[in-house]
Chain A
Amino acid sequence: MGFGMLLFSLSMMWSIYNDGLNIGWVDGRGPGSGVWPFWLSLGMALTSVWTLVRWFRGTTPESRNEAPYIDPESIGLVLTSFISLTVMIFLVGVVGTYISVALFIGFYMHFVGKHSRKVTISMMIGSVIFIYFLFEWQLAKYLPKGWPVFEDGFLWIDNYRWLYLM
């Protein structure tokens, strides 16, 4: 990973250099716009080299650690959590916030948490109502509703709110 950090730092420096930003002094105008990020990225690269040297010499606890990088018992849980969250965010653009949130909570509680159907469904509905009430109603924030077909569906709810509840 130390190599990764080093490459990342060098890519930052390359990006600044490549964009033609001035990394030195501009006469009459002070330090160039690339000074700050360029020299700090160089610092990042140097500290990565420092970490690599320490790793090579076995100075850090990590370099002596023989244990697997991620506990095999929990890797499944971490991966499932991250991937399901990614899918949820992707689905926001398709089916909208509310359906994707409900599906995510339902999936997580049913398949990962093995909770009863009653608890899962009440959490799915409860969280959607809570988000709608707090963000759309009280904070007047428009959350994404997905493709037009789903957006139109929500217009019914919004219209009802505006006509009868406001």
Chain B
Amino acid sequence: MSDILTLLGAGLLQSFEPLNLFMIITGCLAGLFIGAMPGLGSVNGVAILLPVTFLVPPTAAIIFLAALYYGAMYGGAISSITLGIPGASTAVATVFDGRPMAQKGKADQALMAAAIASFIGGTVSIILFTLFAPPLAVLALKFGSQEEFALMILAFATFIGLGGDDIPKTIFSILLGLVMAAVGFDIISGKPRLIFFDMVELQRGIGFLVLAIGIYGIGEMLWTLESTKGKVKIEAVKTTWARFKHNLTYVKGYLPTTTLGSILGFFVGTLPAAGATPASLMSYGLAKTFSNDPDSFGKGNVSGVAAPEAANNAASTGSMLPMITLGIPGSPTTAILLGGMIIWGLRPGPLLFAERPDFVWGLIGSMYVANFVTVILNLALIPIFVRVLAMPFTILTPIIFVLCFVGVFSTTDRMFDVWLMLVLGLGGYLLRKLNYPVAPAVLAIVLGPLAERSMRQSLIGSRGDITTFINPVEHPIALGCIIIAIVLIAYPIYLSFRRKNAN
């Protein structure tokens, strides 16, 4: 325990270095803004701004992106409450009660509840993160290629298990990402694969960044344009010092649901694929169940704003736990962060704790600081954000498109990648329209090369014996992961068949 405190102290000191502190403040501000824009969430922000981070050292870069992730979670509530449009899917549950509160003229109270709940959610989850990360990393050090592969199968299975009703589309999306990751030279034999139309540029493979910016920058933006028709309608927010003090008196009322939501959010967030959206919805449901007045939910109950906001912030921290310790992202945003870490020359996983403690503990330390910075910025800047939100989409859209283009070109120096981004963006938009989930594809393209390598290494080591993954004596952890993965895939399929038979 004292070791953890010493390392945490060093991490905190590191996050106060001028560059890192600057990164935290800029990241939080950018995140708040991006999170508040309807249709844009942390994943879009991290994808679009990833190229900018190549200028600074990896620690400052991850601090910037983590702060942006954090800020976006706070910011999502602003548009949910004032516009009635969730800034991102993670803030959907916040609309249920946030919007009715705004319509009753209590937008400031709802925004404050969201900010304070997010702060509590963030703080609780960072403490849990600090306690859980080191032991998990020690356990993960025992992992061989079999365990690594089984763990990835588990990550994909979680997506299928939690992907809702459309199982074939989720599986298709995962497989598409894995196949896309195989484009280019084979990592073991060196042979070129899937070089469409003999385009030599594809020999380098499809860059993860090109895909992420294409899907989340171009595709999602087209989707948002279609769904909002480029127009937004805003609810007025009154903010005075007296109202601020008055609103503080309500905090005690939603403290229990907030704390419960924070703990729930953290653990749901650690599951790959679960992430902040189901966490916030579950937390909302829990708050409603345990409330003395469940009928008031959906009509403007402040606990209905606080509970999901605490959970989505806690989940965002939770999703970083498997990313840092196991190298498996827990959400689309952490998938992009993981891709960034690989580009920065780091290998996410248990060894990171031993090889780069400055990086890991700098990140953890920065989370504590970012949480404070964001709550202060959020409370202080709410009136300004609300005004900025009124900015028409016809200004925001060209700016985002230009950022996507410049971001991709400045990273890869190839116009081919810019065109590829455009094609992938269009593909992402069409997939989205057909209700194909795009997040599993992004996760798969990040994990694809690692999954293929670990599978082939295991099979080469075992001389082609496929049972090596389920050998209970040599690889019990791998066997456990595969059993859970099978259950996760089979159970929803079984349920849907049973439902069909019942009908």
Contacts and interface: CB of A to CB of B under 8 A. Distances in A.
B411 to A, nearest CB: 9
B394 A115 contact: yes
B229 A77 contact: yes
Interface string A32-53: 1111110011011001101100
Nearest to B185: A33
B175 A40 contact: yes
B401 A77 contact: no
Nearest to A25: B464
A54 B168 contact: yes
B179 interface: yes
A71 B398 contact: no
Interface string B408-452: 011001010011001000100110011100000000000000001
A41 B182 CA distance: 11
Interface in B166-194: 166, 168-169, 171-172, 175-176, 178-179, 182, 186, 188-189, 191-194
Interface in B365-423: 392, 394-395, 397-399, 401-402, 405-406, 409-410, 413, 415, 418-419, 422
Contacts of B9: none
A42 B52 CA distance: 38
A97 B415 CA distance: 11
Contacts of A75: 226
Given A16-B193, A101-B402, A127-B399, A62 B55 contact: no
Interface residues of A, number: 68
B399 A105 contact: yes
A109 B230 contact: no
Given A12-B194, A33-B189, A105-B399, A139 B459 contact: no
Contacts of B230: 74, 77, 112-113
B456 interface: yes
B250 interface: no
Contacts of B62: none
Contacts of B397: 81, 108
B401 A85 contact: yes
A148 interface: no
Contacts of B364: none
Contacts of A12: 179, 194
Nearest to B421: A89
A62 B399 contact: no
Contacts of A143: 406, 409-410
Nearest to A52: B168
Contacts of B320: none
A54 to B, nearest CB: 7
B395 A115 contact: yes
Contacts, number: 169
A105 B405 CA distance: 13
Interface in B193-249: 193-196, 218, 221-222, 225-227, 229-230
B343 interface: no
B460 interface: yes
B302 interface: no
Contacts of A40: 175, 178-179, 182
Residue from the set A82, A88, A92, A101 with the largest chain B CB neighbour count within 10 Å: A82
B311 interface: no
Contact of B406 (A69, A97, A108): A97
Contact of B188 (A33, A82, A127): A33
A135 B406 contact: yes
Given A33-B188, A40-B178, A44-B172, A69 B194 contact: no
B406 A82 contact: no
A118 interface: no
Contacts of B29: none
A15 B168 CA distance: 23
B332 to A, nearest CB: 20
Residue from the set A31, A115, A143 with the largest chain B CB neighbour count within 10 Å: A31
A142 B401 CA distance: 19
Contacts of B430: 1
Contacts of B222: 78, 81-82
B43 interface: no
Given A25-B464, A82-B222, A60 B229 contact: no
B225 A81 contact: yes
B172 A31 contact: no
Contacts of A105: 398-399, 402
Interface in B61-104: none
B32 interface: no
Contacts of A119: 395
Nearest to B223: A78
Interface string A82-120: 100110110011000100010011001100111100010
The 5 closest A-B pairs by CB, nearest first: A113-B394, A30-B460, A50-B168, A33-B186, A141-B410
Interface of A: 1, 5, 12, 15-16, 19, 21, 25, 29-37, 40-41, 43-44, 47-48, 50-51, 54, 59-62, 69-71, 73-75, 77-78, 81-82, 85-86, 88-89, 92-93, 97, 101, 104-105, 108-109, 112-115, 119, 123, 127, 131, 134-135, 138-139, 141-144
